[in-house]
Structure formats: C-alpha cells, structure tokens
Structure 1
C-alpha cells in the first residue's frame, strides 16, 4: 500500500499528518508513506527528520489586503498555481499512491483534487471547528472526510461521508515520561513554565513573555522557563532581553522552535500558548494547565471559542489579545503559582477533555477506505 500525505504551512497541519503517518505504518507495516509539501515551508524539515520521502510542490495563498508587497506575492502565487498541475501529476506518477490524504495547508488543494480526479482513494482531516477554505472546497470531491469537531460537520458540507474523530496526538505526547523529561532538564523542584506563540512566532506573545521573564529574574522565582520565540521572533526577543535586563541562563531557556514538544509538555507544569486546535489537543492529552491567548487573526475567531471550552472545564485561563499586557500575564502566573495544587487540578481537568483514541479511529477509517 502506498500513501501520499499532503500537508503544509504550520506545525498545526504537519504534526497531525506525521501522527497519522506513524499510526498507519504501525497498523500496516508494509505501507510506503510519502509526503508532499513546500521545500521552503517548515514541513520539509519536520518530514525529512522523521524519515519519510518528501516531494516538493510550491503553492501559496493569495493575499486579500492589497499593497505593493502583497501584489508581488499574488503574482508569485499565480505563477506557482500555474505550475502546480504539472508538478502534481509528476508526484502522483512517481508515487503511484493507493490513498492520498490532505491534512491542511494550501498544498493539500492541488494534490488531493488531482488524485480524486484520477479515481485514487482520497481523504482529508480538518483540525478546526471552523474549517479552512481548502478543506471546504475539497470535501465534496474526496471519498472520506475526517473532522476533529462535530461543529465542523455541517460547515464542511458533506455530512454523509464525514466522521468525527477528534484531533490526532502523537503517541510520544501520550506516553512521554514526566520524571525522565524533568530530570533531563535538571528541573528539580522548580515549576516548569513552557511558552510559545506558534512555529512562526507571535510578536505580542514575545513581548509579554519578555515582561514575565524580567519579573521572574527580579523576584528570584523558583521556576524554569522554556520559551520558543518562533522563527520570526528571534531578533525581537533578543532586543527585548537587552532592553529589560534578562538573559537565558540556568532558569531560562530560549529557542526559535521546539523540536521536542512531547518531552517539554511532559516536563511542564504550566503552558502559555495560542489556542489552535492541535495545541489544545496536546494540552489535553498531556494533562497540562494553561494560559491561553487566542489569535485574533483567524477565521470566525475560532481560537477564542476553542479556548473557552478549556476555561469552562477549569483547565485554562483565557486572556484575549486585546486585553493582554505584561502586567496581566504576570498577575495571572503569580496567582496560579500562589495556589498549592492549582496547576495539578487544572491539568486533571484538561486530561478529561482529550480524545486519546483519535489516531485509532482515523487509522481504522483510512484502512477501511483502501481495503
């Protein structure tokens, strides 16, 4: 059995795709799994590090806000779109897949659509309650639609072939050893804070986390803080360190990107992050308390509504970006750390929300489709 998975753009699309690939390989060891994506996107590094064959296709989204820079980007997008047809045909001819799966990102569009037109079995997985444009367009053409949330079923427009399966979480997240992860970090009895704003980074999160780091240094807080700036936030955070008088050291580790998220989630006591669907799925799987800062720049503000579910369950504190300041974040962290047992209680509430059998459900549906 040959499988081609198309995914790109952000870790929120790529990590679920890698989880599905691993589950398929475990269930069907004879399966030959390939990936398609952008070489300039982060999918290239993540997929090749995982050991899967990678097939390059360049595809970009169109920018709605028109200015000189975006006009140039749209011209490039048109050029890549024109070339995507021949490139997609070449990939399908090389791989000769029995199954093509789209896991989100613009790259999924041409690959999955071309496979469906050839009569190859096709499926998509939608991670969010508010589906992306690409998956809404693909839903009518594919054989199988997998949705993380029941809220997405009607919005995808193909209820007869849509199944709610939750969001897949890598087995490494589910089974990571907390004691070993903390020992590797030399955490000791310190409270471990983990903060990140996504694979590309988020300026506002970097700014307020810098205020938090400065406060931790001033107070001599008994914490180990792990922060990922995101690829675009490296220079900003470096400048903020100098302005606010703190630096990485024994109690603060700063990296552009987190390559070992399962281990860091296992070690963490409190996570500060956006509320994308996959982030929440991993927080639930790991059973971690969180401070969630929904991105305001997403369709129908879906991250805010995702985050509210965790807050209602007692698993998280939600701070909207319009209300976010360094002082607000510091006060929230200080309040949580000042209540013995609070973080453990919130983590237990998060654990109850998870769908630990998501990968098993997805694998079952995909193999049934092919067989």
Structure 2
C-alpha cells in the first residue's frame, strides 16, 4: 500500500500519524509511506528520525480575528494545494490520511480533488478548524472520543476508533522504564509532564509541591520540565528538597516515554489527546491540568471525559497551586483502593485496538474506490 500521512505542528498531531503508518507497515510489509508537513513544525525533525520520507509545503493557520495575515494564509493555501497536487501525482498514493493541524488542510483537500481516497483522524473531543473544514471533502473520519461523532454528522463514514497512540504504548517494556529512571522495579512514582515543550504553571506548582513528598513515604516523583524551563526549574526545586531529594528526578525531556508511562503509578499533566489515549490504554489514573492556551479550550473537554468516568481528577490552571496539587496527589497515592478504582475506570476508557480499527477503515475506504 502507498500512503501519504500529513498532520503537524505539535506532537498531538504527529504521533497518531506515525502510529497509523507503523500499523500499515506491520499489516502490509513493503508499504511505502510519505509524510507531508512543514519545516516550521516538529514533524520536520521527528518524522525523518523515524526513517519515513518527508516532503514539505508552506502554509500557516488562520487567525481568529480579522487580519491581513488571513489573506496571505488563503494565498498560501492555494499555493499549498498546488504543491500538494504535484507531490501526490508523483507519489501516487492509494490513500491520504490527515491527523489535524493546518498543514493537512491543503494536502487532504488536494487529494480529494484528485479523486484519491481520504481519511482524517480527530484526536480531541472538540474538532479543530482544519478537520471541520476537511470533513466536507473526505471519504471518512476516525474519532478518538465518541462525543466527537456529532461534529461530523454530515460525513458519511465516521468511526469511533480511539487514538492509535494507545496501541503502540502497550508494546512498551515497563521494566525498561524503571531501569532508565534508575528505580527498582515496582517503585511507585508520579510522572509529571507539561507536554512536549513543558508548562510554566505546572512547573511552578511542582516546585512548591515536591518537598511535601515527605508526607508520602516511598513515593517518587519524575518531573519532566521541558527543555526551555529545565535549568531554572532545577535550580528552584533543588533549594527545598532536603530529605526527599533522592526521591525526585528532574529531567528536561524523556525520549523513551512509552516505557516510562508503562511503569508510572500516576500521571500529572496536560490533557493532550495522545497522552490521554496512552494512559487510558495502560489504565493509569491521572490529575489533569488542561492547557488554557489551545483552540476551543479542547483540552478541558478532553479532561472532563476522563473525570466523568472516574478515571481522573482535574485542576484548572487558574486554580493551580502547589498545595492543591500535592493534596490531589496525596489523595490518590495515599489510598491504594482509590488508585485501583481510578485505574480500572481509566482502563475502561482505553482503546488498545485503535490502530487496527483505523487500519481497517483505511482498507475499506481504499477498496470502495
């Protein structure tokens, strides 16, 4: 099978696309993959590292206020469609799969105009602008949350498939996660992550909360600050740790995140769709602090889906303090029964078969043409 993948800007769009690509390669060895993104997005670095061919187009997103920049964006979209058609005619894909972000707009639209089967995958409860636009032209939509289906009512082929990242994380070796952190197997630890770039508000709250670990004997904290915040955060937190210093590990970035997640007892962090897919697939309870700086405040909607199921607690960023955060951590890590109940609820939301469901939808759409 020859497949074009597109989607970018953030890991939340890129990693699901890569998971879909790996599923296709597993199910149909010898398949050819091409990823189309932008040089400005993370995909330009992440995708080539995975050994997947990469081509770029130039495109920017729309601003929500009236702006001359939006006129330029329309011009870039037209140019992006033209460039995408050239790439598609050269590669001759059997299907084009878009996972959101403004870069997939011209690529998927161009494919639809050329009569190539198209599928978009929506990671969040509330769809992004690009996927809402594309839903009028694509052959199918895969959604991560059942609540999302109503937003694609006019599309003839909508499948609740979950997020493909959920499939890949189950293959991770949790023992390797412990070893990479220098922890004994079975050590209970809280994994705190502010997203791929880090989150200043979460970092500040954790600096205040970390010394309170003395109230939770035996519990460790793995604190991922994000590279841009690492030096300042490490300096601030090291002043007050004293007797719990050996139980706090501060790092800028984790490259083997699936293995570390597989070993974690509790996740604390943002409510990005890919992370939520992974923790529910693994059955990890969570404390979610949705980012308020995302389109349509979609992370809060994502988080509420887990909260309503009993799998998570939520703290809005405007309410976040070190004391409140530690209180929530203590409630869960200090009560094995509660943690087990949340873990069961989390696993109940997980869709470890997600990548396979998306693959099956791709095959069906391809066969219809």
TM-score when normalising by structure 1: 0.88
Counterparts of residues 1-371 of structure 1 (less than 5 Å) = 1-64=1-64, 80-81=76-77, 83-188=79-184, 190-216=187-213, 221-234=217-230, 236-238=232-234, 240-241=236-237, 250-371=246-367
Choose 154-163 or 263-272, whichever is displaced more. 154-163
Shift in Å at residue 367 of structure 1? 1.3
Is the contact made by 1:228 and 1:257 (CA closer than 8 Å) also made in structure 2?
Answer: yes
Choose 1-10 or 204-213, whichever is displaced more. 204-213
RMSD of aligned C-alpha atoms? Answer: 2.8
From the superposition, tell whether residues 53 and 348 of structure 1 become closer, same or farther in structure 2 (CA, over 3 Å): same
Is the contact made by 1:11 and 1:42 (CA closer than 8 Å) also made in structure 2?
Answer: yes
Could you list the runs of 5+ residues in structure 1 that have no partner in the other structure? none
What is the alpha-carbon distance in structure 2 between the residues aligned to residue 211 and residue 62 of structure 1? 38
Is the contact made by 2:125 and 2:301 (CA closer than 8 Å) also made in structure 1?
Answer: no
Shift in Å at residue 81 of structure 1? 4.1
What is the alpha-carbon distance in structure 1 between the residues aligned to residue 215 and residue 276 of structure 2? 30
Shift in Å at residue 41 of structure 1? 1.6
What is the alpha-carbon distance in structure 2 between the residues aligned to residue 137 and residue 74 of structure 1? 16
TM-score when normalising by structure 2: 0.88
CA-to-partner distance for each residue in 1:232-265, whole Å, 9 max, x for gaps? 434552463367568x975333333332221011
CA-to-partner distance for each residue in 1:119-178, whole Å, 9 max, x for gaps? 111111111221111001101111112222332223124242222222222543113233
What is the alpha-carbon distance in structure 2 between the residues aligned to residue 224 and residue 137 of structure 1? 45
* Count of residue correspondences: 366
Choose 11-20 or 178-187, whichever is displaced more. 178-187
What is the alpha-carbon distance in structure 2 between the residues aligned to residue 288 and residue 93 of structure 1? 44
Question: Any idea what SS the aligned residue of 1:145 has?
Answer: strand
From the superposition, tell whether residues 74 and 300 of structure 1 become closer, same or farther in structure 2 (CA, over 3 Å): closer
Is the contact made by 2:81 and 2:109 (CA closer than 8 Å) also made in structure 1?
Answer: no
Could you list the runs of 5+ residues in structure 2 that have no partner in the other structure? none
What is the alpha-carbon distance in structure 2 between the residues aligned to residue 7 and residue 151 of structure 1? 22
Question: Any idea what SS the aligned residue of 1:222 has?
Answer: coil
